[in-house]
Amino acid sequence: MAKYDYDLFVIGAGSGGVRAARLAAMSGAKVMVAEEHRVGGTCVIRGCVPKKFMVYASEFSHHFKTAKGYGWTVPEATFDWPTFLAEKDKEIARLSGIYVRNLQNAGAELVHGKARLIDAHTVEVEGHGRYSADKILVATGGRPWLPRELPGCELGITSNEAFHLPELPKSIVIAGGGYIAIEFAGIFNGLGVETTLVHRGPNVLRGFDDDVRAHVTEEMERRGITVLLGCQHTAVEKAPEGLISRLSTDHDVTSDVVMFCLGREPYVEGLNLEAAGVKLSETGAVAVDDYSKSSVDNIWAVGDVTDRINLTPVAIREGQAFAQTVFYDKPTRFDHEMVASAVFSQPPIGSVGMTEAEARHEVGKVDLYLARFRPMKYTFTGQAERSLIKLVVCAATDRVLGCHVVGPDGPEIIQMAAIAMKMGVTKAQWDSTCAVHPTFAEELVTMREKHVPMAMGQEA
């Protein structure tokens, strides 16, 4: 008789958990997955996928303006939020169903309920009882961080609720400067909502290249978003005319909705990890080694709960590497270097490798190539939007260390750049690649002159 009920118990049916569970089950292992909400996790239910649908919906207002410049007569366009929500929810349900079927087809079992550890080999699922398992994978993801000490914090929403607002607000204040804040600012602005972004830092998108950060701020403002930097909420108050955001600059903004996008935290609450002796890092994430193993020999963790690179494809690859290591006897580490990422701001960003500041810090002397230009699509439409392409190159080795694109299809372009960069492409090889014309991306391979940044105080 088997010593345990299951070979593997996975807590969380999101991107990382589902990939790991499927692969493990396909190896012949007996696998159980617990999910407290809906199968698919953040990405499918309240993250990347519904967010991208909202981006698509919101971009039409801009397309209508561009169309006029091309001679189209565009009658006054109206947008119906409930219609969009219903269609979006239908698609999310379809995708979640596919995830469930994929798990079942692989032979994994699924139990709905909140799971918590009893000890290193026992998991209890609310409403279902206890299960013993040889190995446990924690894949519980992250959740929005809230400034709970802020007076009136409870009046605000997070990205979780933004996908289900009963009606489209007329105005919104979004607090935060990370990619989720920037994306939702673009979404609501594009849908015709008066949008104010409040961020305490001197610039948005910490961690991205400084030229990208400044460029995106300018473009957001050009599209009509009010960007308030260097200030933060001191309170949110309810008034007959709406919610009043009291800001540290003694400035008040009244809006229908206040949304907090102030970061995310690893979701470990209620997991009772201490019962098994699983150690957490300083940021409250499950501490893991390169193979995603926790401080306990038979417990692993992947995805956002480990707070490494919090992106869907990374969670998937970590889940896959775990399954290969543990169930296919193929020790595999996911390489967290050169992971490309996108921000679906308007215009969007694609970025891979080091920022200029990181490269200067890591390798010393760098060569920069930078182009700022009006995309061809807008040259005669009256739209002043500008794009930016920047390459950061190691002066000593000629290796391309960073590529940053802000403009139409930036996220699509960066996927291809990432392949070359992962292979260690040099600027000479990059330049030997013939352009595809007429495209936005051709600027990438036609930047010959080095860019010399202006010294402080030299700016016009």
Ligand X SMILES: Cc1cc2nc3c(=O)[nH]c(=O)nc-3n(C[C@H](O)[C@H](O)[C@H](O)COP(=O)(O)OP(=O)(O)OC[C@H]3O[C@@H](n4cnc5c(N)ncnc54)[C@H](O)[C@@H]3O)c2cc1C
Inter-residue contact 236 to 157 (CB < 8 Å): no
Return phi, psi of residue 271, to 5°: -80, -20
User: CB of residue 341 vs ligand X: minimum separation in angstroms?
Assistant: 7
Inter-residue contact 352 to 403 (CB < 8 Å): yes
Residue 246 touches ligand X, criterion: CB under 6 A: no
User: CB of residue 377 vs ligand X: minimum separation in angstroms?
Assistant: 23
The binder of ligand X chosen from 15, 195, 255, 292 (CB under 6 A): 15
The one catalytic residue among 63, 233, 336, 437? 437
List, as one string, the DSSP characters of 44-66: HHHSHHHHHHHHHHHHHHHHHHH
Count CB-CB contacts under 10 A for residue 79.
Answer: 14
Alpha carbon separation from 436 to 286, 320, 431, 441, 445 (Å, rounded): 45, 35, 13, 8, 9
Return phi, psi of residue 76, to 5°: -55, 120
What would the x/- binding string for ligand X be over residues 176 to 205, using CB under 6 A?
----x-------------------------
Using CB under 6 A, which of the segments 13-21, 58-66, 204-212, 391-399 binds ligand X? 13-21
For residue 106, the surrounding DSSP H or E stretch is: helix 81-106
Using CB under 6 A, which of the segments 28-36, 57-65, 68-76, 129-137 binds ligand X? 28-36
Q: Find residue 8's DSSP bridge partners.
A: 31, 135
Nearest residue (CB) to ligand X, 47 versus 242: 47
Q: Per-residue b/e over 8-43, b at no fewer than 16 CB within 10 Å?
A: bbbbbbbbbbbbbbbbbbbbebbbbbbbbebbbbbb
User: CB of residue 26 vs ligand X: minimum separation in angstroms?
Assistant: 18
Q: Give the torsion sign (CA, 123, 129, 134, 138).
A: negative
User: CB of residue 172 vs ligand X: minimum separation in angstroms?
Assistant: 15
Q: Do β-strands 142-144 and 171-175 pair in parallel, antiparallel, or remain unpaired?
A: unpaired
The binder of ligand X chosen from 8, 11, 391, 392 (CB under 6 A): 11
Using CB under 6 A, which of the segments 10-18, 59-67, 442-450, 452-460 binds ligand X? 10-18
Q: Per-residue b/e over 358-384, b at no fewer than 16 CB within 10 Å?
A: bbeeebeebbbbbbeeebeebeeeebe
- Token pair, residue 345, equals 């701001």
Please give the size of the binding site for ligand X, defined by CB under 6 A: 35
Q: Which residues contact 413 (CB under 8 A, 6 or more apart)?
A: 350, 405, 440, 441, 444
Residue 34 touches ligand X, criterion: CB under 6 A: yes
Give residues 40-59 in contact with ligand X (rule: CB under 6 A): 41-43, 47-48, 51
Distance CA 75, CA 67 (A): 11
Nearest residue (CB) to ligand X, 51 versus 427: 51
User: CB of residue 294 vs ligand X: minimum separation in angstroms?
Assistant: 14
- Token pair, residue 460, equals 């016009």
The binder of ligand X chosen from 4, 26, 36, 60 (CB under 6 A): 36
Residue 12 touches ligand X, criterion: CB under 6 A: yes
Give residues 418-457 in contact with ligand X (rule: CB under 6 A): none
Residue 181, exposed/middle/buried by CB under 10 A (0-12, 13-18, 19+)?
buried
CA 215 to chain centre: 19
Give catalytic status of residue 437 as yes or no: yes
The binder of ligand X chosen from 114, 200, 360, 422 (CB under 6 A): 114
Residue 335, exposed/middle/buried by CB under 10 A (0-12, 13-18, 19+)?
exposed
The binder of ligand X chosen from 159, 189, 195, 320 (CB under 6 A): 159
User: CB of residue 298 vs ligand X: minimum separation in angstroms?
Assistant: 18
Give residues 119-148 in contact with ligand X (rule: CB under 6 A): 139-141
User: CB of residue 52 vs ligand X: minimum separation in angstroms?
Assistant: 7
Nearest residue (CB) to ligand X, 183 versus 443: 183
Using CB under 6 A, which of the segments 11-19, 58-66, 331-339, 348-356 binds ligand X? 11-19
Q: Which residues contact 86 (CB under 8 A, 6 or more apart)?
A: none
Distance CA 113, CA 126 (A): 5
Nearest residue (CB) to ligand X, 314 versus 441: 314
User: CB of residue 454 vs ligand X: minimum separation in angstroms?
Assistant: 33
The binder of ligand X chosen from 4, 5, 37, 451 (CB under 6 A): 37
User: CB of residue 175 vs ligand X: minimum separation in angstroms?
Assistant: 15
What would the x/- binding string for ligand X be over residues 289 to 328, using CB under 6 A?
--------------xxx----xxxx-x-------------
Catalytic residues: 437
Give me the residues that bind ligand X (CB under 6 A), please.
Answer: 11-17, 34-37, 41-43, 47-48, 51, 114-115, 139-141, 159, 180, 267, 270-271, 303-305, 310-313, 315
